[in-house]
Amino acid sequence: MPDKEQRPFGQLIPYEEALSTVLKNVHPVKRKESVDLDDAFQRVLAEDVTSDIFVPPFERAAMDGFAVKAEDTFDAGKFDPVTLEQTGTLHAGDAPDEEVGNGECIQIATGAPLPEGADAVVKVEETEKKDGQIAIYDPVHPGENVSPKGEDIEEGERILDKDMSLTSARIGSLAAIGVQKVKVYEKPKIGVIPTGDEVVPVGDELEPGQIYDVNSHTLSSVVRNNGCEPVNKKVVQDSIEGLKKEIENEVEEMDMVLFSGGSSVGDKDILIDALDSMGEVIFHGVKLKPGKPTLFGKVKDTLVIGMPGYPTSCLNTAQRLIKPALRKMSRLPKSVERTTKAKLQKRITSSLGRQQYMTVKLDEDKAMPVYKQSGAITSMSRADGYFEIPENVELVEKGEEINVTLY
């Protein structure tokens, strides 16, 4: 039996199988809460929304001009206008207190309520003031340049459906019907836990052999950007008892727990031992580059995922595996990737048997690889996107057209 330093990964599984396995074990959040409208952006509705009012709640002018009885304009022509007496002016927000009679008109601004007696609006550019009268040069028909009551939303109309994510436009529609509080699904809570004797919090003074905690910050941004709430924890040292205690605490409170580091096969990569002793290891090792040392399991029905310790490997795994899981858990729709075509500016070799994601910098239609190694966060921070190298391809030639997925 190999000693711990030589312990191999479990059977490496293809990326697609790993993703399918993770998603199969993820369940959408069921907890609900009410939030203020201004806090509801990008949240997911937990109930249908029906309007109690008409929008607009009254007939209103769709143009600046003059509110008229349409029949008074029927004889108007470009060279033979009809003239009407102006009896008042209405601005948006005014409550009309005058009625338009025969031969009369009221100047009206866009959005102002249509006064009694009027059934149309003549655009201001089709009129002229003459000797205290308003000359009308173009006839209008009833309802012309008027927004009817309920044109946008009818009273009793269902305007948004349960499980819709709230975009800016949907927030606007809620405001239009006077909604102040919105019933949404709670954000799933995701524990984000860095591990390693060498890892220290950002802001502490580095001692020889130490590095700053990068992964909890990048992971938290991925969690937050995909509808969930990151709960950051202190660095856990390389101790199996410490890891077991942290897992025990987290699975009681979190919907998912992400550990960074400790998931590979070195003598200090002991997360698998802690997880195996407390729950179920579902897979360990993915045919993904960077991202091979990914660990996935469960404790008390809470998902526990061990992420690679190297920053680029950790972030790539988060984008490929964790992001879809977070979106399913938070009930957000699948993200739509933006892609572009480019010509590769450097020959790339890849290892057979592992699906690789190569980061690139774009210059118009040219793509230059910027990947250094799994430990270099600049492999991604300096990149505009990445392209995929299938596991059965070991060479991509300079000048080949590639499909770049943009960050």
Tell me what percent of the residues of the chain surpass a pLDDT of 70: 95
pLDDT digit string (tens) for 96-138?
999 999 999 999 999 999 999 999 999 999 999 988 899 999 9
Size of the chain in residues: 407
CA distance 126 to 84: 13
CA distance 261 to 195: 6
| Fold of the domain built from segment(s) 339-406 | Beta-clip (2.40.340)
Q: State the sign of the Cα–Cα–Cα–Cα dihedral 176, 178, 180, 181.
A: negative
Please give the pLDDT value at position 11: 82
Q: Tokens standing for 191?
A: 């524990």
Whether residue 218 is predicted with pLDDT greater than 90 in this model: the reply is: yes
Report, as an integer, the average pLDDT of 140-156. 98
Considering the four listed CATH numbers 3.50.50.60, 3.40.980.10, 3.10.180.10, 3.40.50.300, the one that applies to the domain covering 4-31+187-330 is 3.40.980.10
> In angstroms, what CA-CA distances link 275 with 248, 257, 333, 400?
10, 12, 31, 44
For the chain, the structural domain boundaries read 4-31+187-330, 32-55+154-185, 60-147, 339-406
pLDDT band at 22 (very low <50, low <70, confident <90, very high): very high
Please give the pLDDT value at position 266: 54
> What top-level class would CATH report for the domain 60-147?
mainly beta
Whether residue 247 is predicted with pLDDT greater than 80 in this model: the reply is: yes
Report, as an integer, the average pLDDT of 187-194. 97
Neighbours of 372 (CB within 10 A): 13
How do strand 295-299 and strand 280-284 relate by DSSP bridges? antiparallel
Report, as an integer, the average pLDDT of 277-288. 94
Same CATH topology for 32-55+154-185 and 60-147: the answer is: no
| Fold of the domain built from segment(s) 32-55+154-185 | Molybdopterin biosynthesis moea protein, domain 2 (3.90.105)
Nearest to 175 by CA among 37, 53, 33, 35: 37
Please give the pLDDT value at position 378: 77
Residue 225 or residue 10, greater confidence: 225
Report, as an integer, the average pLDDT of 273-296. 93
* 307: CB partners within 8 A, 6+ apart: 215, 219, 258, 259, 260, 261, 263, 294, 314, 317, 318, 322
Contact 198, 46 (CB under 8 A): no
* Block residue for tokens 């006064």: 115
